Amino acid sequence: MSVLVYTENWDGKFKKLSFELVSYASGVAKMAGTSVTAVSIGKVDDTELKKLGNYGASKIVAVTNEKLSTLDNQAYASVISEIALKENSGVIIISNNNAGKAIAPRLSVRLKAGVGSGVSRLPLNLNPFTVYKRTYSGNAFAHLVIKSDIKILTLAQNSFDLAETPGNSCMIENFSLTVDEAHLKTVVKDVQKQTGKILLTDADIVVSGGRGMKSPDNWSPLTELASLLGAATACSRPVSDEGWRPHDEHTGQTGKIIAPNLYIAVGISGATQHLAGISSSKYIVAINTDKDAPIFEAAQYGIVGDAMKILPKLVEAVKAKK
Amino acid sequence: MKILVCISNVPDTTTKIKFAEGNASVDTAGIQWVINPWDELSLTRALELKDNPANGVNSVTVVHVGTAASEPTIRKALAIGADDAIRVNADSSDAFFVAAQIAEVVRKEQFDIIMCGIESSDYNGSLVGGMISEFLGIPSVSAVSDLKIENGQPLLTREIDGGKEVVSVSVPLVAIVQKGIAKEPRIAAMRGIMMARTKPVKLVEPMAVESLTQVVVFEKPAPRAACKYIDAENPAQLIDLLQNEAKVI
């Protein structure tokens, strides 16, 4: 039995998310008294692959077939399940991000393996295998028992602390396989990518604006504060619906679900649907004119007042600290 | 072209969740049931595609796995504009069970595009769509924020980290859709509500499938510490607290 973890790469590089996954897998392996094997698909050099060893992977299976450069859910699930069987994996860990959500359910059917999705803690119990899982958009948590022999867990991003394992040795195995092109059915026609912007799902700090910002023209102190803090910017649903801010900034139940260390909600009242997207943040700051706004119930720090007056003062205060 | 839209029956998203049976289940008393928000957007997009004859969409069918108690939700989907519905008569015990049932429906009835919301607002699993595609051995595209039909072929925009990718995939396929797929959910008009009463709902008995997971107990999220208020005249104090107390900046 081993714990298998799928580590996605971005142009040949791993990021914090990858190391969180390996740290989590190591935690599970420790509970089960076994070791961690990481699977990487795509062109990643050995120096980068070895970084996974720092978080407890003892073996890395590297698949470098060029035909797998596009995420084809079917092909990826097939490769990972083949490796899982070869490695005799009892638990498979995948991120709960876009790629993970595409791959995990397909793996589940292939391996007849039950899935605990969006976990943020180590399993509560190994026998019966029980995980702690977010349900009802964060309004309830479930103890979910996975009854199948193989278990798949998808880990919520930013929810598990990195844990380095100094002195861990790790070997790399190149895994070659033939990919039948007839099976690759996803053809990419166009890619639009923003560069140089901190991704909302990766960010440690997020500054977010709501209807209380009053107009799309009022955003500059908010974006300035975000850039001073090295934060990503976000917004509430009404703001993206109005077209004040791009849709990919919408956080909330139907938008992005995030868990930064710090979430600063400016002029956001905190409707249930909004809280569903941000309630896993470690610290929430609320700035709102309405002292009864529900956001203050979710927040650890609050300022009751006008964002337009408060934001410039916060900008000055951060500048003064630098 | 035939489109199948998978719909889940969930508590209204503003519901305060309470538990029953020693916290082993959710107390359904007083809950207002609705179509899962992503499925509602998915249905809306399917109907928009059907509205334009150039797309060649002949029918939009909704499928649901649930007991008779979810009939009102199915009728609502028909009132919004679906042509017909299929209900697999079973309690939806877990994603694997539900996906296996829907895959069986697709095998029998043959659809070209199967649409699923990215998750349900109750179990937050993000599993059913991907599982259906694997049961059927057909492609799936996830995190889809736009779906068009060009020259009889689906063209999908999917979200990737920091951007978007436009992909083409042959039919049949499963499109797992998210925000952006339709602007606003379509609302049932009076005519639609009247017509929905006579639209066919086909009842299918479930196949025997073992569920792979089971919720044993629910609990409420841990309460957060009370909010510490900072004087609006002195916001700099907030920066101090974030730096020295919370240590997050």
Four-residue CA torsion sign, B117, B123, B127, B132: negative
Tokens found for residue A116: 């605990």
CATH classification at residue A110: 3.40.50.620
Give the Å distances, CA to CA, from A243 to A134, A238, A248, A255: 30, 9, 11, 14
A135, B157 in Cβ contact below 8 A?
A: no
Residue A70 buriedness (CB in 10 A; 0-12 / 13-18 / 19+): middle
Band of pLDDT at residue A185, cut at 50, 70 and 90: confident
Same domain, A178 and A209: no
- Quick check: B212 and A148 CB within 8 A? yes
Picking from A126, A148, A183, the residue at the C-terminal end of a domain is: A183
Domains along the sequence of chain B with CATH: 2-220 (3.40.50.620)
Range of the domain at A222: 205-321
- d(C-alpha A39, C-alpha A60), whole Å: 6
Same domain, A157 and A113: yes
Band of pLDDT at residue A177, cut at 50, 70 and 90: confident
Structural domain total, chain A: 2
The answer, yes or no, to whether ipTM is higher than 0.90 is: yes
- Specify the DSSP class assigned to residue A75: H
A89, A37 in Cβ contact below 8 A?
A: yes
pLDDT in tens, chain B (249 residues): 999 999 999 999 888 899 999 999 999 999 999 999 999 999 999 999 999 999 999 999 999 999 999 999 999 999 999 999 999 999 999 999 999 999 999 999 999 999 999 999 999 999 999 999 999 999 999 999 999 999 999 999 999 888 899 999 999 999 999 989 999 999 999 999 999 999 999 999 999 999 999 999 999 998 888 999 999 999 999 999 999 999 999
A91 falls within a domain: yes
Q: Tell whether the model's pLDDT for residue A182 goes beyond 90.
A: no
Which chain B residues contact residue A92 at CB under 8 A?
A: none
- Quick check: A135 and B124 CB within 8 A? yes
Same domain, A79 and A225: no
What pLDDT score was predicted for residue B37?
95
Interface test with A, best of B40, B144, B156, B167 (most A CBs within 10 A): B167
- Quick check: A286 and B227 CB within 8 A? yes
